[in-house]
A and B are shown apart, each in its own frame.
Chain A
Amino acid sequence: MSLRIPALLGSLIALVACAGTAVVEPSGFLGDYSQLKPGRGDQAQLIYIDPEADFSPYQRVLVEPVEVWQRAAGSDAPAGEFASLSADLGSALRKQLALEFELVDSPGPGTLRIRTAITQVRMSGASIEIEILDAESGRRLVAAADARGEVGPRAGRADATGEWTNARQDFEFWAERARDRLAAFRSFDKAEAAHDSRTEP
């Protein structure tokens, strides 16, 4: 089984690479990638959602400082840019999540802990990995790795400003999606619990 997972990831990477879309290459930030599988549609390229997770109690989020886990090859941005880029991603996450959750600085009951790493910044976009855990128990609820933008000849012309605007737009995109998805999960679990209490004796 352990041999199949790298083979599966390799196949996914090769498949997506042929299409010219940026690919996810596990950086090591998430540690255990064995639970992740290719997402469908607009999902992250690799995704894990704990099927037993109940998001209904979560009203607070603890956003950890964004880390940088660069792949040896692939990032166009110089090392000096990453402090600013990771600050921007952290800021986008806090801004968006604050619309649905109370932001806190320490673990506690009903708190989600959000770990995020930038793994690549290209002219055309960025790659990140994100892990969402129960802040008290450390249980992994969601893990995902995603990449946006293109690779190849077109990618170099995608951001002529030198401001890494494509990557920063990707950060906003991911932050909004994190907010929407967590809010939707919470809404679903709350409504399901209410439904169960009405229909189960």
Chain B
Amino acid sequence: MRFSRIVFVLTALAFLTAAPAQATSCGKWDRMGAGQKSATIDRMIESVISGSGGRQYHVDRGAIGRCLWGYAQSIEYDFDAACADSRSAGMQALNGIFKEYVWSCAG
């Protein structure tokens, strides 16, 4: 019992430290360091190319990923700018900016 509890705690800790903080709002975004911001954008790009939910998926995910990673710095600047404009902006606002880049890269 005690061993299983330790394993659970260690697993949870490992998971939490491996998962980058999410850009749920400008409040969280503004508190992130540079490394966390990059990790968050990397995770968002991975979300696009992970391919969940498609029927057959004929989309060239590699190309979309390369394109988005090429924009990563620009995405980060745009997030910073959006949060500077409105510190109360939420996840949707940042996701909306990100989707504009996806729209640009997909296809």
CB of B104 within 8 A of CB of A40, answer yes
Determine the chain B residues whose CB is within 8 A of the CB of A180 once the complex forms: 59-60, 64, 106-107
Determine the chain A residues whose CB is within 8 A of the CB of B44 once the complex forms: 188, 192
A residues with CB within 8 A of B: 39-44, 47, 49-52, 56, 59, 99-102, 173, 176-177, 179-181, 183-188, 190-192, 194-196, 198-200
CB of A177 within 8 A of CB of B106, answer yes
CB of B95 within 8 A of CB of A191, answer no
CB of A192 within 8 A of CB of B64, answer no
CB of B54 within 8 A of CB of A100, answer yes
Interface 1/0s, chain B 43-63, versus A by CB < 8 A? 110111111111111111000
Determine the chain A residues whose CB is within 8 A of the CB of B84 once the complex forms: none
What are 11 A-B residue pairs whose CB atoms fall within 8 Å in the complex? Answer: A39-B100, A99-B56, A99-B58, A183-B106, A184-B102, A187-B50, A192-B44, A194-B52, A195-B19, A195-B22, A199-B19
Given A195-B19, A198-B19, 11 more A-B residue pairs with CB atoms under 8 Å apart are: A39-B103, A49-B99, A51-B93, A51-B96, A180-B106, A181-B107, A184-B48, A184-B64, A184-B105, A188-B98, A191-B47
Q: Is the interface of B mostly helix, strand, loop or mixed?
A: helix
Determine the chain B residues whose CB is within 8 A of the CB of A43 once the complex forms: 100, 103-104
CB of B50 within 8 A of CB of A191, answer yes
Determine the chain B residues whose CB is within 8 A of the CB of A101 once the complex forms: 55
Determine the chain B residues whose CB is within 8 A of the CB of A184 once the complex forms: 48, 59, 64, 102, 105-106
Bound form: Cα–Cα A22–B107 in Å: 20
Bound form: Cα–Cα A187–B61 in Å: 11
| Interface size of B in residues (CB-CB distance below 8 Å) | 38
Determine the chain B residues whose CB is within 8 A of the CB of A176 once the complex forms: 107
Q: Is B11 an interface residue (CB 8 A)?
A: no
Determine the chain B residues whose CB is within 8 A of the CB of A187 once the complex forms: 47-54
Determine the chain A residues whose CB is within 8 A of the CB of B59 once the complex forms: 100, 179-180, 183-184
Interface 1/0s, chain B 34-78, versus A by CB < 8 A? 000000000110111111111111111000100000000000000
Q: How many Å from the CB of A190 to the closest CB on chain B? A: 5
Q: Is B88 an interface residue (CB 8 A)?
A: no
Bound form: Cα–Cα A73–B99 in Å: 34
Bound form: Cα–Cα A101–B54 in Å: 8
CB of A51 within 8 A of CB of B47, answer no
